[in-house]
Amino acid sequence: MPVIDIELSEKLTISCNILAQEGHGNLTMGHVTARRADQPYLHMNPHDLGLEEITPDDIILIDFNGNQLQGSGRRHSEYPIHTEIYKMYPQINCVIHTHPFYSIIVGATEGTIKPISHEGSLFAGIPLFEETSLLIRTPALGRAVAQCLDGRHAMLMRNHGVVVVGESIEAATVYAALLERAAKMQVTASLVGPGQTSTSVESEGKGEQVFYSKNIYGFWDYFVRNLPNVQRSG
């Protein structure tokens, strides 16, 4: 029987706390899972706590069928978002599902992110999941979500929220923060007019110039340094 991985739980906790700070909190809703490469089970924050409230002791463990292996907190019913993405994309080790304010608005209106600023270039043209705005509670719906994601870092979900993924907790968390920043700028810019956007050549160039791996991990370090309470009880 797998046991709780303290190091992963601590990093997952920090991810939840950063996400809350970056506009991904919505009462006690939203969930983040992570695994070490190729593990067929997941660490997950539990139901009933806000993302900013999570501590490492709260983390639970579930298998790919949603069975709870460790931890006393309640499992989120939308676990198939996570399990089906891990099954389809072996290189993904962290999946985030939240209800960020501006990203939901973009999903309900323009339907995708436009490359207005550096952040926008990273998510230009990401897919919109339109099949349902209800919860993703079955493996079939989870597979539909995973397919719609189509290998991108993030996806909008109509009248619901977002999915963001990464090779690591650090990468997925930074992408999620950047996505909501891009969405906020896009929504705000809409009040002035359609405007100019970066060309696809420019957007790709920014991937190399701004969002290279070392910088993504540097942004994670920045977020960690600026959390109000980084030192938490283990």
Taking the least distance from each CB to a second copy, the nearer of 37 and 130 is 130
| Distance of closest approach, residue 89 Cβ to a second copy, in angstroms | 26
CB 114 to a second copy: min, Å: 9
Determine whether 177 is exposed, middle or buried from the number of CB atoms within 10 Å of its CB (0-12, 13-18, 19+): buried
Q: Smallest distance, Å, CB 136 to a second copy?
A: 10
Q: What is the DSSP string of 10-63?
A: HHHHHHHHHHIIIII-BTBB-EEEE-STT-SEEEEPPTTS-TTT--GGG-EEEE
Tell me if residue 185 falls in helix, strand or coil. helix
Would you say 4 or 224 has its CB closer to a second copy?
224
- The DSSP 8-state label assigned to residue 117 in this structure reads S
Write down the least CB distance from residue 96 to a second copy, Å: 17
Residues that bind a second copy (CB under 8 A): 26-29, 48-50, 53, 77, 99, 101-102, 104-106, 108-110, 115-118, 120-121, 130, 132-135, 137, 158-160, 184-199, 202, 205-206, 209-210, 215, 218-219, 221-222, 225-226
How far lies 101's CA from each of 20, 21, 95, in Å? 12, 13, 19
Our CB check for a second copy shows the closer of 40 and 125 to be: 125
- Measured from the CB atom, is 88 or 128 closer to a second copy? 128
The CB-of-102 to a second copy minimum distance in angstroms stands at 8
Instruction: Quickly tell me which residue has 């991108």 as its tokens.
Output: 152
**Cβ 192 to a second copy shortest distance, Å:** 4
In the complex with a second copy, the residue whose CB is nearer, 2 or 73, is 73
Cβ at position 1, least distance to a second copy in Å: 29
Give whichever of 44 and 183 is closer to a second copy, judged by the CB atom: 183
**Size (the chain), residues:** 234
Residue 165 CB contacts under 8 Å (≥ 6 apart), including other chains: 85, 89, 92, 94, 95, 96, 149, 153, 154, 172, 175
Q: Closer CB to a second copy, residue 70 or residue 132?
A: 132
Q: What residues pair up with 32 in beta bridges, in sequence order?
A: 96
Backbone angles phi, psi at 62, to 5 degrees: -130, 155
